[in-house]
Amino acid sequence: MWRSTQTSSPVVGSEGPRADEIPGRGTLTSVKLALRNLLRNRWRSGLTLAAVAVAVGLMIWMLSLYEGWLQEMVRGATSVETAQVQIHSASYVESPRVYRSFAADSVLLQRILDVPEVLSASPRIELAGLVGDEDRSQVARILGVDPVRESETTPVADAVTAGRWLAPLPRPFPAAREVVLGSGVARQLQVGPGDELVTFLEAADGSLGNELLEVVGVVQTGNTEIDRNALYLHLSDAQALGALEGEIHEIAVRTEDLARARETAVAIAEAVGASSATPSPASVEGGLVVRPWQEILPGIDQMIFVFRRSYWVLYLLVYILAAVGVLNTQRMSALERRREFGVMMAIGMRPRRMLRTLLVETAVLGLVGGAIGCAFGTALSWYHATSGLDMSLLARETTFSYMGVSFSERLYFVLRTGNVIQPLAVMVAVAVVSGLWPAIQAARIDPAPTIAGRS
């Protein structure tokens, strides 16, 4: 009797899970295949890696440049005129008038200085009047300051270009009062150290204040508002000139961190029992208001917000070029290996694994290129953060101004962790999205006609 020698076929599923179904095993295999495929055409892969690296490195460098530019602008705008935090009476904030002043004794100043992030505080008086001599005159801002405290709060004493800064103590009556002029005022009046001027203004009590002034110095701070219009007097001299009887208009506060000015303003308000919010017209009665530079200079704060929002425009412009390179590489690679894909699927590779392998390939391309770009971009940005970028290479002048703020010939970058990680993450995402279409096309091929060369 004939007996079949054919062995019985195995039960479906008895051979155990497939290699690509073992957790972690399929992904590791896909990574190996991706690396092998990228190394098969090293020239094309190298060009794509270079494009990705340049895109990531350029983004890190540009973001660090913009952060340095913005911080330099804020520092220039706040360091001399406004400082990082200011304290006024509530009525003065609503409508600045010479008679809307407040008393500031040593106890109040000490409470401000006791706030952890406060470095120094300077009381000020601001008057508006006519200053000049028998030949020329100009309307100017007359700033009454404590010379010692002001030099600790702002760099104005270091900005003297002729003569000297105000002496620690005012001159005794009846000697001419010491005055330091902004460079623009001195140029307009054509005066310098040793010359005398006369000033006239309306005092707080409605009387006409006038005083003889002797120019002892000229400052060029880089802040156009100060240089063109301001002059500095001793605080006590300005109080006598404005009939303020020991009161002031504001206290300028220098803090450790520009970015934390809002939090510091709240802490100062709690320390002195003031408000940390700008009062509404209906609520202006009395008391003090503490404001950070973001509220004092809303235009610069809004410009910073817009600049940082526009970073995505940079991402779009730079990464769209990198995406085209990745897409071209993966599309050409998929076309050249189409018959190979057909063979792989004919011997059992599933479409989802084919899709995963090609996506891993593009992700590796983006990750490796992005890592190279991160290394070079971070190194270059760190160099410019420590040594600065010579701006004279980009402009004819050694100094230039923007929005009233003067920039020096060297700009120091600000390298943030987020500005390094974000371009790398975006580049990997862009690479995966760029390789999605070639991967889907490769996963949907029909093995038989593809091997035969009919598709």
Strand partners, 407: 400
Distance (Å, whole) CA 238 – CA 206? 15
Dump pLDDT digits (tens) for 212-224.
999 999 998 878 8
Residue 128: helix, strand or coil by DSSP?
strand
Dump pLDDT digits (tens) for 131-159.
998 888 899 999 999 999 999 999 999 98
Helices (H), 337-446: 338-346, 351-387, 418-434, 436-443
Q: Is 403 left (phi over 0), alpha (psi -120 to 50) or beta?
A: left
pTM of the model: 0.71
- The dihedral through the CA atoms of 326, 332, 336, 340 has a sign that is positive
Residue 171 has pLDDT above 60, yes or no: yes
Residue 238 CB coordination number (10 Å):
25
3-state secondary structure 6-56: CCCCCCCCCCCCCHHHCCCHHHHHHHHHHHHHHHHCHHHHHHHHHHHHHHH
Amino acid 338: pLDDT: 67
Tokens, residue 75:
């520092």
Rounded alpha-carbon distances, angstroms, from residue 250 to 123, 289, 291: 6, 10, 11
Amino acid 24: pLDDT: 45
Q: Quick check: 326 and 121 in contact, CB under 8 A?
A: no
Mean pLDDT in residue range 244-257? 91
Helix, strand, coil proportions of the chain in percent (round to 5)?
55, 20, 25
Nearest to 345 by CA among 355, 334, 358, 354: 354
Nearest to 55 by CA among 344, 328, 314, 294: 314
What's phi and psi for 20, nearest 5 deg? -80, -5
Residue 216: helix, strand or coil by DSSP?
strand
When pLDDT is cut at 50, 70 and 90, the band that residue 306 belongs to is confident
Distance (Å, whole) CA 247 – CA 398? 42
Amino acid 450: pLDDT: 65
Task: Supply the DSSP string of 281-296, one letter for each residue.
Answer: GGG-SSSEEEEEHHHH
Q: Quick check: 38 and 361 in contact, CB under 8 A?
A: yes
Dump pLDDT digits (tens) for 428-442.
888 888 877 777 777
Owner of token pair 């530019």:
69
When pLDDT is cut at 50, 70 and 90, the band that residue 455 belongs to is low
Distant-in-sequence, close-in-space partners of 49: CB < 8 Å, separation ≥ 6: 365, 368, 369, 372
Q: Quick check: 197 and 131 in contact, CB under 8 A?
A: yes
Residue 327 has pLDDT above 70, yes or no: yes
Mean pLDDT in residue range 330-337? 68
Supply the mean pLDDT for the chain: 81
Distance (Å, whole) CA 365 – CA 360? 8
Q: Ranked by mean pLDDT, which of 34-48, 234-248, 293-307, 407-421 comes out on top?
A: 234-248
Nearest to 423 by CA among 60, 53, 68: 60
